[in-house]
Chains A and B, each alone.
Chain A
């Protein structure tokens, strides 16, 4: 058998790992043929929508649905009283709390679901909503978590015993009726001692404001109960379809095999679509009651006001160092505003997510973190908006504390980072707050980044600019934003990561077809990340069949293997690993088949790109295509027919992607308008599967970081009215506001991941927010600024300039 194709060409033909393969998803999306949940149309389908509370805190005295039921097209109006006999008027949250599905006697935030109107179309539902009469008695509103912790106003009477005592919450003792938990990591007394005796201590309080993931497609579902066969099908915008199936089974009592959950195309998730929302429960109940399919789709206001806020951390820190700048200790306290119900989407044992990664990329010997969760009259949520659990908060905290310490030491912030980085030879590195960082080479990345932007040149230019400003030659200041972040992604090892008891492994199942193509199914679900493209590339490299011959399917619980879904950058670290491992099982069987076909011992053949060759005789080989055909069609002694494999992968550790970012910004002190002149992003996500997709993820994550740092927030007034419920008030950057980004990389493979990949989708958001914020703060550093809170919108920047006396 003469091979006319070179080895290099054979590698190229596979379109495996490392190549910028074009996306297979794009044909349908560019032609308007995507299939999102709101595109679904079923015979007799009804539409459900909510009556929502205009009050942030009120008792409900009565609900009158009679007039609504008179509206032509309105079929039913569900209230808590209807759900109570089914035990579905409350539901469990991912954080171990419970949440009202429909208001049970009171409401705790503006926009809360009060009644569910089911109608023949959305216009009739809207007419019905107008006519549901709810009699409210308003109650004192708590929007400030510090006030909530001292107030006599009790938000959650259901969590206070009859004798007035406070039963423990899901995460231990509670200090006050509005207190949810205290969570600690590290060593309290030794840290306090180190800080008390330190040569230099910097302190800062910062508020990481409330915001929202706001994917372009809102949340929604279609529930269809087939009463003949007793089967429920639930289509929806689910980032974790299998977990949703289990949760639906547990709360509805339907057996899990009678529930089919399907995540069709999802129009962006960013954490918004991880949780379980009242709309899902009400749709299911309405479908069971009416026997018809019921669709529920949020409008944008519902989305911004009720499902899945992010952040809202009030953080206070102390960082100590020697006079030379070597950090000796770090202390952090967080008051976490969780809203009316604790519905944070974190692994259950981590009520503050992975906030204890807040020692960042630095070798800090002693540290202590304490987080207090608090109930207020705001929407529940607390999701990971384009980050692993609370990692944006952690990285923002440490990257601000480093800057504040640099000011205190009168030192360059880049140099301060450099002398405190965990050194390459220290990995695997156990941090003071408990995590074991798997790998890293921070100094190399930092040096590469600073050289790429000519850091010293930038500082010289900045000094000149300050001189020019003081001389009245310019009204623009220049800020140099730095950030060096370490992410912690790929949740996670089942030994400590679960959600409501569901272990956070993931899975891949591969079936090779006789003619040498394949289908692989995973427990994850793409929301734009391009899984159908990249997972086929992993497999192509592992099993030697072209990526173009491999179909990837996700999101249908009847066909895909069980997995915990896509969020927290876990798809590549966990399901990607499962994919590689399943591929290796295929390869192991293929090796035996090849050896039989080539009439040699198993150990005498070796894998080479797309074939097994006889060792030392490369002209004797069987391609994977040959092997696939033989697997099905040739009787091979001792080997079962077929070529399939499944892998459930429980990762031994998280992965720790990192990166070095630099932002150069000009700020007009008279208008407060920041102009991003340059943004350089170096990411190390370990082995790179598809550079084109990695770059796209970096561009997108940085843009979401720009949004959060420079203007995007969910804000409330004192009455608990949400002031940012539309895209008029909630900042989403357009092409006009966004710069071009320079991307770069280093490669430090994860030592424990089968292909060394670490995940990248969220890194740019995690590292980007402090970088943009640091740029703003740095511009004002020469004039005495230490810290100002985000979001740095034009008005707030102007106020900073004004407070520093820069307006003359």
Chain B
């Protein structure tokens, strides 16, 4: 038991301020305090990646970070990546290439993939497989996830070229 403290986070562009125990895990802050239920809980030991979010430009597993560690940080979840009116190319590609089945890993998977494509816009299959190895999927066998990410990369590169 510990005393509550004041924290401030930016989540998907929105400033959030609240009182919480420092030991509260960030995934619960997001899911239960802020009602951001896109990131999921699969293991609470950093192995599965269902809780993946982006914090200050890095992919982070929110299940093993205390809210105190996230104080003052800028956090993006799947909800901040794209919605009905502004789908991210990855969201479209995952549907188009059957990159998901039960959908439980998908928010973390897409959040991680979005970061991967920021870091490396034209990854090889091997780079995708390595870069996504922190996110476990039990349904798809990854083949169509890799395909979806490749398709999104192609789409995003083409869009970028067209814009330039």
- A728 touches which one: B45, B100, B103 (CB < 8 A)? B45
Query: Is there a chain B Cβ closer than 8 Å to A6's Cβ?
Result: no
Q: How far is the CB of A777 from chain B (nearest CB, A)?
A: 23
Is B14 on the interface with A (CB-CB < 8 A)?
no
Q: Could you give, for residues 295-334 of chain A, a 1 whenever the CB lies within 8 Å of some chain B CB and a 0 otherwise?
A: 0010110000000000000000000000000000000000
Q: A23-B95, A216-B137 are in contact. Are A30 and B110 (CB under 8 A)?
A: yes
**Which residue of the partner chain, among B78, B103, B145, contacts A735 with CB atoms under 8 Å?**
B145
Evaluate contact between B138 and A216: CB separation under 8 angstroms.
Answer: yes
Check A29 against B100 for contact (C-beta < 8 Å). Answer: yes
Chain A 156-178 against B: per-residue CB contact (8 Å), 1 yes, 0 no?
00000000000000000000000
Which parts of B66-92 form the interface with A (CB within 8 Å)? 77-79, 82-84, 87, 90-91
Q: Max chain B CB contacts within 10 Å: which of A34, A72, A122? A: A34
Expressed in whole angstroms, the Cα–Cα distance for A218 and B45 within the complex equals 14
- State whether the Cβ of B101 lies closer than 8 Å to any Cβ in chain A: yes
Q: How far is the CA of A701 from the CA of B56 in the complex (A)?
A: 37
Query: A677 interface residue, CB < 8 Å from B?
Result: no
Q: Mark each residue of chain B from 25 to 46: 1 if its CB lies under 8 Å from any CB of chain A, else 0.
A: 0001001100111111111110
B45 touches A265 (CB 8 A): no
Q: In the complex, A734 Cα to B134 Cα: how many Å?
A: 7
- Nearest to A269 among chain B residues (CB) is B102
Give A241 to B126 CA distance when docked, in angstroms: 41
Is the Cβ of A216 less than 8 Å from the Cβ of B100? no
Chain A contacts with B in 243-290, Cβ cutoff 8 A = 265-268, 270
**A122-B28, A267-B102 given as contacts; is B141 within 8 A of A700 (CB)?**
yes
Across the interface, do A215 and B77 meet the contact criterion of CB distance under 8 Å? no
- With a cutoff of 8 Å between Cβ atoms, the chain A residues found around residue B129 in the complex are 735-736
A727 touches B45 (CB 8 A): yes
- A30, A122, A693: the one contacting B94 at CB < 8 Å is A30
- With beta carbons under 8 angstroms apart, the residue of B83, B134, B141 that contacts A31 is B83
| With known contacts A23-B95, A31-B91, A738-B142, A217–B21 Cβ distance under 8 A | no
Q: From residue 91 to 127 of chain B, which have CB atoms closer than 8 A to chain A?
A: 91, 94-96, 98, 100-107, 110
Residues of B with C-beta under 8 A to A102: none
Say yes or no: A26-B100 contact (C-beta < 8 A), given A217-B42, A727-B47, A736-B130: yes
Which of B82, B101, B132, B133 sits near A528, CB closer than 8 Å? B101
Q: Is the CB of A268 within 8 A of B138?
A: yes
A212 and B21 alpha carbons, distance in the complex (Å): 35
Considering the chains assembled together, what is the distance between the CA atoms of A217 and B102 in angstroms? Answer: 9
Asked whether B141 lies within 8 Å of A216 as measured between CB atoms, the reply is: no
Which residues of chain B are within 8 angstroms of A218 by Cβ–Cβ distance?
A: 42
Q: What residue of chain B has the Cβ atom nearest to residue A35's Cβ?
A: B37
- A726 and B130 contact, Cβ closer than 8 Å, known pairs A214-B138, A268-B104, A700-B101: no
Which of the residues A41, A122, A528, A736 comes within 8 Å of B103, measured between beta carbons?
Answer: A528
Q: Is the CB of B32 within 8 A of A217?
A: no
A29 to B128, CA, bound (A): 21
Instruction: Please encode chain A, from 17 to 44, with 1 for each CB lying within 8 Å of some chain B CB and 0 for all others.
Output: 0000011011111111110101101000
B136 surroundings in chain A (CB, below 8 A): 216, 727, 732, 734
User: Nearest CB to that of B146 among chain A residues?
Assistant: A735
In the complex, A265 Cα to B40 Cα: how many Å?
A: 13
CA–CA, A127 and B96, complex, Å: 46
Q: Closest Cβ of chain B: how far from A393's Cβ, in Å?
A: 21
A549 in the interface (beta carbon within 8 A)? no
Please tell me if the beta carbons of B104 and A123 are within 8 angstroms of each other in the complex: no
The answer to whether A693 and B98 touch across the interface, beta carbons within 8 angstroms, is yes
Would you list which residues of chain A between 522 and 538 have a CB under 8 Å from chain B?
527-530
- B144, CB-defined interface residue at 8 Å: yes
Instruction: Check A735/B128 contact, CB under 8 A, given A215-B102, A266-B102.
Output: yes
Contact A700 B45, beta carbon cutoff 8 Å: no
Closest CB-CB distance, B68 to chain A, in whole Å?
Answer: 14
Contact A127 B1 (CB under 8 A): yes
The answer to whether residues A216 and B94 also contact, given A31-B83, A735-B133 and a CB cut-off of 8 A, is no
In the complex, how many angstroms separate the beta carbon of B147 from the nearest chain A beta carbon?
A: 9
**Chain B residues with Cβ under 8 A from A266's Cβ?**
102
Residue A696 interfacial (CB < 8 Å): yes
CB-CB nearest in chain A for B47: A727
* B158 surroundings in chain A (CB, below 8 A): none
A36 and B101 contact, CB distance less than 8 A: no
Residues in B neighbouring A30, C-beta threshold 8 A: 87, 90-91, 94-95, 100, 103, 106-107, 110
Residues of B within 8 A of A267 (CB): 40, 102-104
Given contacts A31-B84, A728-B45, contact A702 B141 (CB under 8 A): yes
**What's the nearest-Cβ distance from chain A to residue B121, in Å?**
19
Check B132 against A123 for contact (C-beta < 8 Å): no
User: At the interface, yes or no: A703 with Cβ under 8 Å from chain B?
Assistant: yes
Evaluate contact between A700 and B138: CB separation under 8 angstroms: yes
B143 in contact with A29 (CB, 8 Å): no
Q: Interface readout for A582-597 with B: 1 if CB under 8 Å, 0 if not?
A: 0000000000000000
The interface residues of chain A lying within 8 Å CB-to-CB of B128 are 735
Please determine whether B101 and A696 come into contact, CB atoms closer than 8 angstroms: yes
Does A39 lie within 8 Å of B139, measured CB to CB? no
**A27 and chain B: residue at smallest CB distance:** B95
Is B140 in the interface zone, CB < 8 Å from A?
A: yes
- Assess the A32–B107 pair: CB atoms within 8 A: yes
- Does B48 belong to the interface (CB within 8 Å)? yes
Q: A699 an interface residue at 8 Å Cβ cutoff?
A: yes
Is B58 part of the binding interface, using a Cβ–Cβ cutoff of 8 Å? no
Contact of B140 among A72, A700, A728, A734 (CB under 8 A): A700
* Distance of A50 from chain B, by nearest CB (Å): 16
In the complex, what residue of chain B is closest to A300 when comparing beta carbons? B43
Residue among A297, A702, A740 with the highest chain B CB neighbour number at 10 A: A740
Residues in B neighbouring A214, C-beta threshold 8 A: 138
Bound complex: CA of A297 vs CA of B40, how far in Å? 12
A217 contacts B104, C-beta separation under 8 Å = yes
Binary contact readout A61-72 vs B (1 if CB under 8 angstroms, 0 otherwise): 000000000011
B residues less than 8 Å from A738 (CB atoms): 141-143
- Write out the residue numbers on chain B whose beta carbons fall within 8 Å of the beta carbon of A25: 103
A741 at interface (Cβ–Cβ under 8 A)?
A: yes
- Residues in A with CB closer than 8 Å to B110 are 30
Q: How far is the CA of A631 from the CA of B135 in the complex (A)?
A: 51
How many angstroms from the CA of A64 to the CA of B107 in the assembled complex?
A: 43
Q: Which residues of B lie under 8 Å from residue A71 when comparing CB positions? A: 1
Q: Is the CB of A300 within 8 A of B42?
A: yes
Q: Which residue in B79, B90, B96, B98 is a CB contact (below 8 Å) of A32?
A: B79
Q: Are A696 and B144 in contact (CB under 8 A)?
A: yes
Least CB distance from A711 to B in Å reads 14
Q: Decide yes or no whether B60 CB sits under 8 A from chain A.
A: no
| Interface presence of B11 (CB below 8 A) | no
A453 interface contact, C-beta 8 A: no
Q: Do A700 and B139 contact each other (CB < 8 Å), given the known contacts A32-B79, A32-B107, A300-B42? A: yes
Report the Cα distance A123→B90, complex, angstroms: 35
* Min CB gap B94→A, angstroms: 5
Query: How long is the Cα–Cα vector from A738 to B83 in the complex, in angstroms?
Result: 31
User: In the bound complex, do residue B138 and residue A215 qualify as a contact, i.e. CB atoms below 8 Å apart?
Assistant: yes
Name B residues whose Cβ lies closer than 8 Å to a Cβ of A.
1, 21, 23-24, 28, 31-32, 35-45, 47-48, 50, 77-79, 82-84, 87, 90-91, 94-96, 98, 100-107, 110, 128-130, 132-146
The contact sample of 23 A-B pairs, CB cut-off 8 A, is A22-B96, A31-B87, A32-B38, A32-B78, A32-B79, A36-B37, A72-B1, A121-B32, A123-B24, A215-B104, A216-B42, A217-B40, A217-B104, A218-B42, A529-B101, A699-B140, A699-B142, A726-B43, A727-B47, A728-B47, A732-B48, A735-B130, A735-B146
Known contacts A26-B94, A123-B23, A734-B134; 16 further A-B pairs (Cβ under 8 A): A23-B98, A26-B100, A30-B90, A30-B103, A32-B79, A34-B103, A36-B37, A122-B28, A214-B138, A215-B102, A216-B48, A217-B42, A530-B101, A727-B47, A732-B47, A734-B142
The 3 closest A-B pairs by CB, nearest first: A32-B38, A29-B103, A528-B102
